[in-house]
Chains A and B, each alone.
Chain A
């Protein structure tokens, strides 16, 4: 009896311990391992989280968007064509015939009106683009109309450069949602956002894109299935699975082993080493995220622009780019990401302690000073702060670094209470206005503005910078119809920020994507709205 038991146990143990066959992922399934714990809300009009926007870009279509098979082409999507009126005050979209949402409902101009109106009236972070276009709850109904099912007319309350408007419309915020479906799930006038946000309960997606959400378990996985009726083409992948794997080393193992096709959060070391691993490739893409330092001009000594200029010379850009930022960022000293219209890519600042000391002496601080510097409590941000602490010390400046989560930093930042900080910014759409409107514009600085009014969502206001002339120029640049002139205006704004602004931009981050060698067609661009896995194939 005992012997039989022992034999059975041994067989069972052998069965469990026998090498498991680790097949490659199925040919029709793309498995992406990624840190996706920040996903909380699937509604494109609510979530500003990059991870959500990047997935939503393939769940929803926009009126116009980047071609999912060619990131260079901005094409009409749900609009078959569009026409901008001569004076630039309105755009008429002719909707594409025969396109349906995942639910089977047809896509019509009424959905476009509903989606944009909903975006503004929900009032969440993505709605800032609608406000920049000049829409308000009062004027929205007069300016968005659908004369018939296939015609959508967008009248612009503010006259803006058409290229700016079209680029804005290509961003994830302007996703066109299934109005019939959302109306069915509306509760207390919430435009169906409670239903749409909560994908954990399952249900249909409200988009018309190449994929739809099949299942989602927060902080665990998102599974997408192909939309077989997608109007543009049928994706090769039947399923796309995003699996939450927080640890970079674990992501690397899964990729090497063939249990994952794409790894998203590799460290620079892992990425470099993977280059030599058989069956794996690493591709580097510039991302739209820019790391910056900010100094509060309402507080001494940063009320003197010379002091901020001195800070620009106390950062070891080159040293950092060879160490901490190696392969994960390139030196970029302005707010418009490289590759965007009007981006200035020259890098005039470098570590120069003598020059910084000279400037500090001119400003009346020959012996330096002490201040608190709040940095995001994650890598590489914490390391940037530590490096700055060391180089600033050479000029006699004592930097007290406080590493804090964003949730702790933002409330103080919003109340103008941080003397100095380190954060990052990612423009919501691929136009220089997306970042200029944050870094050289402060509504409180415009002539006639109430100086006591608070503008806590504006970065310049948070640092007490009121650049009247630049704020006006930023608005003028957004309205300029001549593209060449417009590019020049943004170049001028970026250089002016160097002269008098409180922001020091350091790096544009790079996304390293580790992929199995057979994965092709993954689109990942710095414009934010040209991210897609719809054209992925394995061959």
Chain B
């Protein structure tokens, strides 16, 4: 079988896995929605309505139908990207997600970028200087990043860099007076402001995203750094490293020319998974920084029995993970020739 045929088979297999995963996800979210002891009717019309109105809405929601009918109705709607209406925001769930997701995506991208830019170099440094003071210092800093409560980190950053020093913008994505001045194209404010040629508002957006992104990025860097260090240490033990050194290659070429490329595959997976976790919505970071993203939206929905929003959001997050996994699998095959066999 040729290389392309094998790649084709691989893709087909992946598509089959994705379809099965989606079906499982839909089934799971549906069952959770029905098993939870929550009342969508009260959530929609309020607690003190008359029994007649309650019954009418109960029927309108299709809750009087047999469970199997409800399931297939649900599958049918989901296939048309219709997750129903959120009782809480009174908007179609797809519209809600389209509104809140770009905020989370933008923050997660910045967070994972900061996390990688800090985590990978420091992970390499710690591995190369293993057992030295530098290694110890890097590991302590990483450990703090990993274990410090997100909430506390966020408030501390705000108190120091926003309230005391005034170096960064406050909570929210933009200063209030810039709100509504930039037309929404991608939903990513950093890009929309540049597209609109609004340099001042772009600067304001950067100053607002800086603190939550650093807060998230620091946590992410702790994980990425620890993993980088451990991947590097594994590779440094390998024989080829000794051979390279015996051949007289400089340490820099050994590390960056041989060891690091061999860690790339695992690093891609680590960074992709970290990105996926950040995309889920960093609930606490979003709360502290009043960041109107998916994490806040989903949490509110869950607390208020807004099952359409919860199910829609879960499917979106599930899809993100499925596609990130697929992406990293494909990258794996490209970067590591052994997986192509």
A-contact 0/1 string along B161-189, CB 8 Å cutoff: 01101111111100111011000000000
B153-167 residues at the A interface, CB under 8 angstroms = 155, 158-159, 162-163, 165-167
- Contact indicator per residue, chain B 50-79, by CB within 8 Å of chain A (1) or not (0): 111110000000000000000000000000
Are A257 and B167 in contact, CB atoms less than 8 angstroms apart?
Answer: no
Q: Which stretch of A120-128, A227-235, A282-290, A493-501 is in the interface?
A: A120-128
A245 with B290: CB separation less than 8 A: yes
Stretch at the interface among B83-91, B119-127, B258-266: B83-91
Closest B residue to A254 by CB, please name it.
B170
**Minimum CB distance partner of A22 in chain B:** B166
Q: How far is the CA of A250 from the CA of B95 in the complex (A)?
A: 28
User: With A and B bound together, what is the CA distance between A124 and B41 in angstroms?
Assistant: 12
Q: Per-residue 0/1 for A385-412: is the Cβ within 8 Å of any B Cβ (1 yes, 0 no)?
A: 0000000000000000000011110110
Nearest A residue to B88 by beta-carbon distance? A40
- Which of chain A's residues 9-62 have a Cβ closer than 8 Å to chain B? 15-20, 22, 25-26, 29, 31, 37-38, 40-41, 48
Contact of B169 with A20 in the complex, beta carbons under 8 Å: yes
Q: How far is the CA of A18 from the CA of B210 in the complex (A)?
A: 13
Q: Point out the residue from B42, B96, B296 that lies within 8 Å of A411, measured CB to CB.
A: B42
Q: How many A-B contacts are there with CB distance less than 8 Å?
A: 147
**What chain A residues lie within 8 Å of B318 (beta carbons)?**
none
B43 within 8 A of A: yes
The segment from B104-112, B136-144, B217-225, B297-305 found at the interface with A is B297-305
Whether, in the assembled complex, B49 has its beta carbon less than 8 Å from a beta carbon of chain A, the answer is: yes
Contacts of A456 in B (CB 8 A): 51, 54
Residues of A within 8 A of B2 (CB): none
Chain B contacts of A247 at CB under 8 A? 287-288, 290
Alpha-carbon separation in the docked complex, A37 to B159 (Å): 24
For residue A256, which residues in chain B have a CB less than 8 angstroms away from its CB? 163
Query: Is the CB–CB distance between B290 and A243 below 8 Å?
Result: yes
Checking A128, A217, A377 against B292 with a beta-carbon cut-off of 8 angstroms, the contacting residue is A217
Given contacts A16-B203, A457-B51, contact A259 B305 (CB under 8 A): no
- List the B residue with the shortest CB-CB distance to A126: B46
Digit string of A179-215 for contact with B (CB within 8 Å is 1, else 0)?
0000000000000000001101000000000000001
Assuming the A-B contacts A198-B91, A243-B172, A408-B37, are A219 and B54 also in contact, with contact meaning beta carbons closer than 8 angstroms in the complex? no
> For residue A414, which residues in chain B have a CB less than 8 angstroms away from its CB?
42, 47
The verdict on A405 contacting B179 (CB below 8 Å), with A247-B288, A456-B51 known, is no
Given A16-B207, A125-B45, A241-B179: A257 and B170 interface contact (C-beta under 8 Å): yes
Point out the residues of chain A lying under 8 angstroms from B206, CB to CB: 16
- Evaluate contact between B176 and A249: CB separation under 8 angstroms: no
A259 and B90 contact, Cβ closer than 8 Å, known pairs A124-B49, A217-B99 = no
Q: Which of A20, A249, A254 contacts B168 (CB 8 A)?
A: A20
A26, B290: Cα distance in complex, Å: 21
Is B289 at the interface (CB under 8 A from chain A)?
Answer: yes
With contact pairs A123-B53, A124-B53, A257-B170 given, residues A219 and B292 touching in the complex (Cβ less than 8 Å): yes
Shortest CB distance A248–B (Å): 11
Additional A-B contacts beyond A241-B179, A405-B303, A457-B51 (12; CB < 8 A): A31-B176, A37-B296, A48-B48, A123-B52, A124-B53, A125-B49, A218-B96, A244-B292, A250-B171, A408-B38, A411-B39, A414-B42
Chain A residues proximal to chain B, CB less than 8 Å = 15-20, 22, 25-26, 29, 31, 37-38, 40-41, 48, 123-125, 128, 197-198, 200, 215, 217-221, 223, 241, 243-247, 249-250, 253-254, 256-257, 259, 377, 405-408, 410-411, 413-414, 454, 456-457
Return the 8 tightest CB-CB contacts between A and B, nearest first.
A407-B305, A411-B39, A218-B89, A410-B47, A40-B90, A220-B292, A245-B290, A125-B46
16 residue pairs of the A-B complex, CB under 8 angstroms, read A16-B207, A25-B176, A25-B177, A31-B176, A123-B49, A124-B45, A124-B49, A219-B300, A257-B162, A405-B38, A405-B303, A405-B304, A407-B43, A408-B39, A410-B39, A456-B51
Q: Measuring CB to CB, which residues of chain B are less than 8 angstroms from any residue of chain A?
A: 37-39, 41-43, 45-54, 86-91, 95-96, 99-100, 155, 158-159, 162-163, 165-172, 175-177, 179-180, 203-204, 206-207, 210, 287-290, 292, 296-297, 300, 303-305
